[in-house]
Each structure stands twice: as C-alpha cells, then as structure tokens.
Amino acid sequence: MKKKRVTLKDIAKELEVSISTVSRALKDHPDIDKKLREKIQKLAQKWNYIPNPLAMGLLRQQTRVIGVIVPDIVTYFFSSIIEGIENELREAGYYIVISSSKESVQKEIECVNNLLNLRIDGLIVCLAQDSHSTAHFKKVLEHEVPLVFFDRVCLEKKVSTIVTDNISMARDITTHFFENGAKKIAHITGPKHLNIVKERAEGYLKGLEIAGINFDKKYLIHTDLSPESAGRATKKLLALPEKPDAILGVNDTVIFSTMKAIKRIGLRIPEDILLAGFSDEFHATVVEPQLTSVAHPTHEIGRNAAKLILEQILEGRPIQKKIVLNTELHIRESSIRN
C-alpha cells in the first residue's frame, strides 16, 4: 500500500497546534516561539514532510490550483462568474483550471477525476443539467478537497453553496405579468431535480396565488434546457385552445427559443404574449423586443465562491455555509403591455 503523504494537518494534529502555526513555523516565522518552531521543524524532518512539488510556496502542501467546473464557458453568465472566481483567487496567489461539463453528467464525472489527478487544492462547481448522482462529489470530499457549489447545487447539508433569490424573483415576474394584463401565465422550466428549477417553479406558483389565478398544470412544461426542447415546449403551449398570454422561461436561453417560435406563427411580443427570463444574458438587450430578465450578481457569485474555498483551505477543514445573493429584475419591452 502506498504510504500516505504527511501533511501540515498531520503535524498540527500531533503537536496540538493549528495548521497556520505549523506553516509559519516551517517558514521560521519570528511570531512563533523559538522552542515551538524547533519542535515543529524536528517533527517535520522526522516524518519526512515533503511539500507538493507543484506548490508555489516552498513549505506549503498546496498546488495553489483551484478547479472550476461549469456547464458551458460560452454564455455571459458563466464567463462572468469565472472572472469573479479568477480575480479573487489571483489576489490570494491561486490559479484556476476551467473544465466544461457540456451539460453532461458523464463529462462532469470525467472533469472531477481529471482535476483530482492534478491535485487541486479546491473545487468550485455548477452542476450539469442531468447531474443526478452525487457519488463523484462525495469522492472529492473523501479526498478532503474543499468543495463549493454555485447556482445549481447539491449536498447542501455538507458543502458550502452560493445561490440567488430564485423564489422571490419568479414570484415578482409572475405578478408583474398579471399587472400588465396577463391571466394565462405559463412557465417553461428545466429538469425537475435541479434546485433552480424547483425554486423558480415555486416562485411562479406563489405569484399565481398572489394574483388570484388558479394553477393549471398544462401551463407548466419541463424541458432539458436545450433550445430544441424549449422550442417544442413553446409549440405545445401555442397549440392549446387557450394559448398563454405570458411565458416565464427558466433562463434566457429557453426564452430566446420561445421568442423564435412565437414570431414564426405570426404572434406579437408583447401585444399577444408577454415574455421574461432569467440570467440577463448579453442578447437580452439585442433581441427585438428587448427581453425582461433577472440579472444575477455574477461577479459577486464568483468572488464569494472563491472566498469560501480559501476559507476552507485556511481552516484546513470542510465548511458548510449557504450564501443567498439578491438579484435584480430588469423590466424591458417584452413584458410591458401598453
């Protein structure tokens, strides 16, 4: 059996001191008592403590590399979050390796394994749309690698997460539709197991209740988040005897496909159907009419995810926190009926 590499944590536990004390003592830091420094250094030598060869610091058991797994790196939503992560980590002397799951759980598992093989110091993840299993993430925890999820999350009772106020925003959009004359409000959403799907659907139902509109299940359609699936869902809604007069999309990508399908059959936005989405992608202000959408604090999401990783690295232990960030509803032409 391969002998386990001695870590700062092992030395700290043996001498009943903190990991930071061990780290500073090995750097011969004057703030640490001389006798304690010598004791720590002697034990490190006895146990043949060797820092990771990829470490930037000579006496730190770290690669100073953080893995980031996102569903895609094309949309503004994820690219902006990655920028926030990178900026925060760069200030702390860390680098990132970015992997895309391409919305595939199999690819996501592959990304996790590859990053673990790189001996990353932490992992930040947004789940792929078909990610049902948590086994590959439990493997990360078993390797004692700090783990943080954002937006699409799991293992909330064990892992730190960064999410947004999905319920209140979906509720507010739904009531906004009602205030603009809509009474048959539909919701095109995503896979049932995703937290953002559950929360936005809950907000949609709350909005209907506030507006005094009875929920009709035919107006709630699940998709796999692809443009093709969103297009099929829209056609199904438009084929109903009582077509919806407003549609909330679980994200902007879904609602862009909805826009195309509506225009294709000659209906007008917003005159015939009001529309709104989530994530406020760049194209929201380019399409005609401009799309009402929920803007996420993407840079802040990224920075908070990085801070939680750094906190766990410093503490040398898993930390379970949930940070809920506020979003902002940008009301534009697609949801306003004159």
Task: Tell me the pTM.
Answer: 0.80
How much is the pLDDT for 2?
A: 39
* Range list of β-strands (E), the chain: 65-70, 95-100, 122-125, 147-150, 160-164, 185-189, 220-222, 246-249, 274-278, 292-295, 322-325, 328-330
Of 128, 81, 277, 121, nearest in space to 188 by CA: 277
How much is the pLDDT for 30?
A: 84
Residue with tokens 């090995």: 26
In words, the CATH class of domain 65-163+298-325 is: alpha beta
189 contact partners, CB below 8 Å, separation of at least 6: 197, 200, 201, 220, 221, 222, 223, 250
The domain covering 166-295+329-335 belongs, at the CATH homologous superfamily level, to Response regulator (3.40.50.2300)
SS3 68: strand
Q: How far apart are CA 126 and CA 268, in angstroms?
A: 35
Q: State the fold for domain 1-62.
A: 434 Repressor (Amino-terminal Domain) (1.10.260)
First-last CA distance in the chain: 74
Burial of 302 (0-12, 13-18, 19+ CB in 10 A): buried
How much is the pLDDT for 55?
A: 40
Give the distance from CA 41 to its chain's centroid: 41
Residues 202 and 189 sit within 8 Å (Cβ to Cβ): no
Say whether 166-295+329-335 and 65-163+298-325 share the same fold. yes
How much is the pLDDT for 58?
A: 37
- Paired with 295 in beta bridges are 328
What is the C-alpha R_g of the chain? 24
Q: Which residues of the chain have pLDDT under 50?
A: 1-2, 52-60
Residues 277 and 196 sit within 8 Å (Cβ to Cβ): no
- Other beta carbons less than 10 A from residue 319's beta carbon: 14
How much is the pLDDT for 59?
A: 40
Of 108, 203, 160, 196, nearest in space to 306 by CA: 160
How much is the pLDDT for 187?
A: 98
How much is the pLDDT for 324?
A: 97
Q: Tell me the domain boundaries of the chain.
A: 1-62, 65-163+298-325, 166-295+329-335
Give the distance from CA 143 to its chain's centroid: 22
Q: How far apart are CA 183 and CA 110, in angstroms?
A: 46
How much is the pLDDT for 9?
A: 85
